């Protein structure tokens, strides 16, 4: 029987137990034994080596340790490194449509040089809409950055259709589905924070931009095994916002009958033969 580890840190596992159980159940149906393992309980060298790792944690160095042992990790360490610091993502995707972005140095006075208010402020390593704020003036900008400090922040120009974004689900380099999200109020549209969601048929422009992202990652040693490409809309045009490594799927199950976890585990199983 093939064996795998499903890696979580303790905090994320506490709110994703159903997702984890679904992965383990689907794997068992395929004759694969996946065990949930908390990063806080890991120590090297391991007593026994798994055949693979499903990583739902955000420490790329930990993923790299498994890869040094010859163990495949989904998503791999390079994806983890690029996606879990939005500064890395932005730099990596230069040349593709992105909103203007600046990276203020933590702890120092910051005044935007090439952007006008309103501005979006977010933690560089945040996820799920945590501490994302809209700053209408310098005072609000400083307050938003202070909420993130001492951790680094991103400051971005605001898209013309703020509060609306598109999540495109990707499995092993192929687009599976897309969900349009819209905020009930403000600019944070995340489903867990009350955003409205509906299944979306991609336009040619959205598909083309998503494929460019997929190809950029794949061509540079960071294939997207299970990830989300998030787009926002500025003057009627899709713009890349983020790429989610530890992508959630609750809203996809809400708006469709697509069992993306089953698809994910089946594709992993096919790669273990």
* pLDDT tens digits, 218-263: 999 999 999 999 999 999 999 999 999 999 999 999 999 999 999 9
Binned at pLDDT 50, 70 and 90, residue 183 comes out as confident
Could you name the CATH architecture of 101-157?
2-Layer Sandwich (3.30)
Task: In whole angstroms, give the CA distance from residue 103 to residue 155.
Answer: 6
Q: Is the pLDDT of residue 189 over 60?
A: no
CATH 3.90.320.10 fits domain 161-258: no
Mean pLDDT of 89-104: 97
What is the pLDDT of the chain when averaged over all its residues?
Answer: 94
Q: Give me the pLDDT at residue 129, please.
A: 75
Q: Give residue limits of the domains in the chain.
A: 2-82+266-272, 101-157, 161-258
Task: In whole angstroms, give the CA distance from residue 123 to residue 135.
Answer: 14
Q: Give me the pLDDT at residue 14, please.
A: 96
Task: In whole angstroms, give the CA distance from residue 83 to residue 81.
Answer: 6
CATH number for the region 2-82+266-272 comes to: 3.40.50.20
- pTM for the full predicted model: 0.95
């Amino acid at each position: 029987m093939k064996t795998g580890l499903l890696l979580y840190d303790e905090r994320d596992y506490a709110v994703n137990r159903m997702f984890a159980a679904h992965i383990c159940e689907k794997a068992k149906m395929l004759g694969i034994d996946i065990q949930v393992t908390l990063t806080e309980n890991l120590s090297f060298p391991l007593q026994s080596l798994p055949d693979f790792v499903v990583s739902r944690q955000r420490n790329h160095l930990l993923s790299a340790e498994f890869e040094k042992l010859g163990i495949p990790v989904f998503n791999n360490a390079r994806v983890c490194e690029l996606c879990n610091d939005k500064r890395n993502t932005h730099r990596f995707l230069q040349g593709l449509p992105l909103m203007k972005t600046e990276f203020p140095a933590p702890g120092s006075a910051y005044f935007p040089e090439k952007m006008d208010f309103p501005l979006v402020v977010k933690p560089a390593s945040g996820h799920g809409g945590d501490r994302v704020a809209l700053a209408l003036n310098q005072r609000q900008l400083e307050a938003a950055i202070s909420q993130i400090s001492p951790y680094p922040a991103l400051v971005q120009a605001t898209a013309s259709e703020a509060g609306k974004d598109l999540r495109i689900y990707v499995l092993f380099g192929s687009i599976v589905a897309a969900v349009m999200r819209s905020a009930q109020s403000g600019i944070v549209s995340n489903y867990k924070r009350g955003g409205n969601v509906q299944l979306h048929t991609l336009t040619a422009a959205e598909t083309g931009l998503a494929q460019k992202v997929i190809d950029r990652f794949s061509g540079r040693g960071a294939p997207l095994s299970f990830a989300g490409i998030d787009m926002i809309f500025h003057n009627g045009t899709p713009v890349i916002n983020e790429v989610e490594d530890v992508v959630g799927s609750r809203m996809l199950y809400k708006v469709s009958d697509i069992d993306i976890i089953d698809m994910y585990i089946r594709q992993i199983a096919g790669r273990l033969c």
